[in-house]
Chain A
Amino acid sequence: MTSEDYFIQGNEACARGAIKANCRFFAGYPITPSTEIAEDMAVFLPREGGTFVQMEDEISTLGAVIGAVWAGMKGMTATSGPGFSLMQEHIGYAVMTETPLVIVNMQRGSPSTGQPTMASQGDMMQARWGSQGDYEIIALSPSSVQECFDFTVEAFNLAEKYRVPVMVMSDENVGHMREKITIPEKVEVKARSMPEEGPDTYLPYRADPDGTSPMPALGDGYKIHITGLTHDERGYPDASNPQAHSKLVKRLCNKIRHHTNEISRIKTENVEDAEIIIISYGAPSRSALKAVRTARDQGLNVGFIKIDVVWPFPEEMIQKAAGNAQRVIVVEMNLGQIFYEVQRVLPEVKVELAPKIGGEMHLPEEILKQINSTKD
């Protein structure tokens, strides 16, 4: 098996990862700073026998992807803040109907149109809570071009395994930076599983209380009904039944929550006896890493946690890795989002925020300064 090296942008790496993961449908709408993903998919998908379509807005891009996924393809769309806001309606629909798909969000300065060519991590809570109701999704946060490729592949596999929309929450920094990446000839691809039962006995939404079910494609003869309304195991609307709603929505949440430790992932460095632990994810984790290494050179006992899979939030992993620290500093490119999650799961630890907005990554010395400060 051979692999090939490329010097490409994070956006291009997402597109390459999607194609390797067997994504054969992409619906897109131009938006800075994610447009290169759509452009690459427009070039490469037809060569693989896949379909690219440019839709009239981001609402319809996700609608088209959901349609194509039910028709038997793996599908993706990519966007940034304003488009991500428009997609929230169909994210909810995909959650409710258990449609596996991938959304890449190259986050930019917000609110509103904000800073199209600058970076932020301002959509992290929107990824978690943006559509109405109780639900769970999966979100990965790449910090490098290689991770853009790897995490996109992983996103497709997680989407199929848990039948849930999976978000690749990157940002303009990573989307537009170029680095060397290695693309293997083959990657691990999780195939969608067909129901073992025939159409007479198959129930599309029959699953364990924290599980999901195999899904056939439209046209396979199963004649299924798919609705965003509260539905029973047959998929039929049962919207006024409190028990049906409770059973369905709890299952949709628990199929993710109960598998947090299998889905989520953190990377740690020197956390065992660290007095201070820096927690970060995505692009600023690289500023944080540099600050941590410099601090250690200065003789400080500083550990580092990088969160790769941010949602579901790796609560137990963080508690295990940072529970004994005296101080934890959360480095993120917003005014505090994941910070509150860390604070929630580490009630005994002094958790500080190292925020940054404006579009640029934290300077390592900004983080270093906070490490060295003894403010209480």
Chain B
Amino acid sequence: MDENRENRFMKYLRKDRLPHIFCAGCGNGIVMNTFFNGMEMAEVDFEKVVMVSGIGCSSRIPGYVKCDSLHTTHGRPISFATGIKLANPENEVVVFTGDGDAAAIGGNHLIHGARRNINITVICINNSIYGMTGGQISPTSPKGSYGSTAPYGALERPFKLSEMVKAAGATYVARWTTAQPVQLSNAIKKALKNKGFSFIEVMSQCPTYFGRKNKMRSPIEMLKWMKEESIVKRRADKLSAEELEGKIIVGEFQNKEEPEFSDKVCQLLEAQCTTGKPSSTRSAFEGD
């Protein structure tokens, strides 16, 4: 490949792990691009970035990024991230997760992370389906949508993730789609800069499973659908539930300052520590 034409974010990737496993047309690539863009805009020190993920297609992203990364268990990355942040608040902890990971099996960890307002950024790529296991419906699948475990259409009501995480106490929450990369990059920038629990919900396309099972075969078709159905929060706030049926509400749901959890822990240690060493970062390497 011509060096000059290489993607400008290639420097952040583990080139020895490419090619990646994502399907053609998957939204994960757009999310990675917007993440690096937002990260640069936020002037985050890439050397301090620790990525944590659970299980699923979106959770494979950290494995391709040339930073410290933990690919953990299904639904639990926020619990690992909590330990990483508390043990060394210098770490810039970013969690990549999906709708199955964060909303189903990891729902409890998600709301408690938000409740603690711990300074981590959670990027939840919501494609409304389980991709890695072959197209089963998830807690965010729209009512009536099809999946291999909903051959007659989903009967359950979907979670509104951003609204839920806001209610749980997150201090920055935004939802955008992969069809709005500029807004998404800006939201990621704000999320990374926010000192507290930040949640970015990216509505994304899974042409392989969601598209195929729901009669939107091409990624372009899906992107178009997301763009057309998107309605910004300011406008959505004025509309009735009936008018919002089937719409994707995009925009910022929360952006406020609140005391942050790892800060509070550090303050407690400053106040209580009797050994003169209120930080135990890297203490495992100390011995006799």
Contact = CB atoms under 8 A, between A and B. Distances in A.
A316 B279 CA distance: 44
Contact of B73 (A63, A64, A160, A190): A63
A49 B273 contact: yes
A57 B108 contact: yes
A54 B284 CA distance: 21
A51 B17 contact: no
B72 A71 contact: no
Q: Which 10 A-B pairs have the closest CB atoms?
A: A191-B287, A67-B83, A63-B79, A60-B79, A71-B87, A64-B83, A24-B280, A68-B83, A68-B87, A46-B272
Contacts, number: 193
B112 interface: yes
A82 interface: no
A25 B284 CA distance: 10
Contacts of A188: 288
B280 A48 contact: yes
B32 interface: no
A224 B68 CA distance: 5
Contact of A225 (B69, B79, B90, B280): B69
Contact of A90 (B63, B73, B84, B284): B73
From B79, B268, B271, B281, residue with most partner A Cβ within 10 Å: B79
A62 B84 CA distance: 12
B73 A191 contact: no
Nearest to B108: A56
Contact of B86 (A53, A194, A237): A53
Contact of B277 (A49, A64, A69, A89): A49
Interface stretch (B3-11, B44-52, B121-129): B44-52
Interface of A: 22, 24-25, 27, 46-51, 53, 55-57, 59-75, 89-90, 93, 160, 186, 188-194, 217-219, 221-229, 234, 236-237
22 contacts: A46-B272, A49-B279, A50-B280, A51-B265, A55-B82, A64-B83, A67-B52, A67-B79, A71-B84, A72-B283, A72-B284, A191-B287, A191-B288, A192-B284, A193-B285, A217-B285, A218-B88, A218-B91, A219-B47, A226-B69, A228-B73, A236-B16
A68 B288 contact: no
A219 B71 contact: no
B273 A189 contact: no
Contacts of A224: 68-69
Contacts of B159: none
How many chain B residues sit at the interface, stated as a range, is 35 or more
B278 interface: yes
Given A72-B88, A219-B88, A227 B63 contact: yes
Interface in B87-131: 87-88, 90-91, 108-109, 112
Contacts of B279: 49
Contact of A72 (B52, B63, B285): B285
Interface in B32-86: 47-48, 50, 52, 62-63, 66-73, 76, 78-86
B265 A59 contact: no
Given A49-B277, A53-B265, A59-B76, A22 B83 contact: no
Given A66-B80, A68-B87, A192 B285 contact: yes
B274 interface: yes
Given A49-B280, A55-B82, A73 B47 contact: no
Contacts of B286: 22, 189, 191
B76 A60 contact: yes
A134 B71 CA distance: 20
Nearest to B278: A49
Given A55-B82, A219-B68, 7 more contacts: A51-B87, A60-B109, A65-B83, A67-B80, A67-B85, A89-B76, A194-B285
